[in-house]
Amino acid sequence: MVLLLFVDLDPDLAALRPLGGFFVLRATGDPLRPPATLAQAYARPALPDNQDPLDFRVRKVGQALRAPEPRVAASIAQQGLAARLWSIALGCAALYDAVPDLDPRLLRWDPDGSAPDDLWLTEVRRRPANPATVADAVLHGHLEPLNAALRSRYRVADGLLRGNAGSALAGAARQLDQWARAHGRTDVAARTRALTAELLAHPLLAGTGTLTAAGFRRRSCCLYYRVPGGGVCGDCCFTRAPRSSPHAPSG
């Protein structure tokens, strides 16, 4: 029998701090210099590119990795943000049995921040931690508009972006499961596995990969192998970096 031990959803989300940087969500920020909300980042603003937070982030990632083309940088940037969102949602669901309202109008994002992406929540509102609520918050609230923006701006394949989302979810679950086992929190590990399996069965993630006891194997590639010195990721559909053209299958 698994004994579930939950704490209240506190305004500072303090229970997330021991889990590491991908899970931490700040609930405070500089009110005089607030960064853009994620809702603003997903919309196509009537601003020059150098003031567009999403374009800025993609360029920053591309420069840091020396990516050969913008769609490679867009893929890596999207996967990094997806990993942050899944980590926050899974961590809260497993530790609090609740999730904060992750409405993109409440989440502020510094596109000039380092990895993992710098996020802060302007107001903590409690929501249930069931799969439907988590899917609605992360998939529908964030990844659908983010993916739409990246497809239209950088011509990134939809299958690639959905694969990134599935990979990011599986990676967040793996990190949370490892922490839970190391700290004797079998309740957290069990809840994480159950919620992850339900989410990977969602129509937007179904078919992105296979989750087994050994781990997750995706059916697409994030294009990281095209970054100088990159190679393939541990869950990639490729066992070695393709030696073909820049248009090797990715979706």
The string of pLDDT tens digits covering residues 60-103 is 999 999 999 999 999 999 999 999 999 999 999 999 999 999 99
Give the residue among 1, 13, 20, 3 at the shortest CA–CA distance from 185: 3
Residues 6+ positions from 136 with CB-CB distance below 8 Å: none
More confident residue, 45 or 42: 42
> Which helix or strand (DSSP H or E) is residue 112 part of?
none
More confident residue, 91 or 249: 91
Instruction: Domain count for the chain, please give it.
Output: 1
Q: Considering the entire predicted model, what is its pTM?
A: 0.91
Confirm whether 99 is domain-assigned: yes
Confirm whether 52 is domain-assigned: yes
Confirm whether 58 is domain-assigned: yes
Confirm whether 245 is domain-assigned: no
pLDDT digits (tens, 9 = 90+) for 173-228: 999 999 999 999 999 999 999 999 999 999 999 999 988 877 899 999 999 999 99
Dihedral sign, Cα of residue 58, residue 63, residue 65, residue 70: positive
Instruction: Match 């420069």 to its residue by tokens.
Output: 63
pLDDT digits (tens, 9 = 90+) for 125-159: 999 999 999 999 999 999 999 999 999 999 999 99
Q: Is 98 left (phi over 0), alpha (psi -120 to 50) or beta?
A: beta
Confirm whether 16 is domain-assigned: no
Domain range spanning residue 211?
Answer: 23-226
Give the residue among 135, 131, 141, 154 at the shortest CA–CA distance from 58: 154
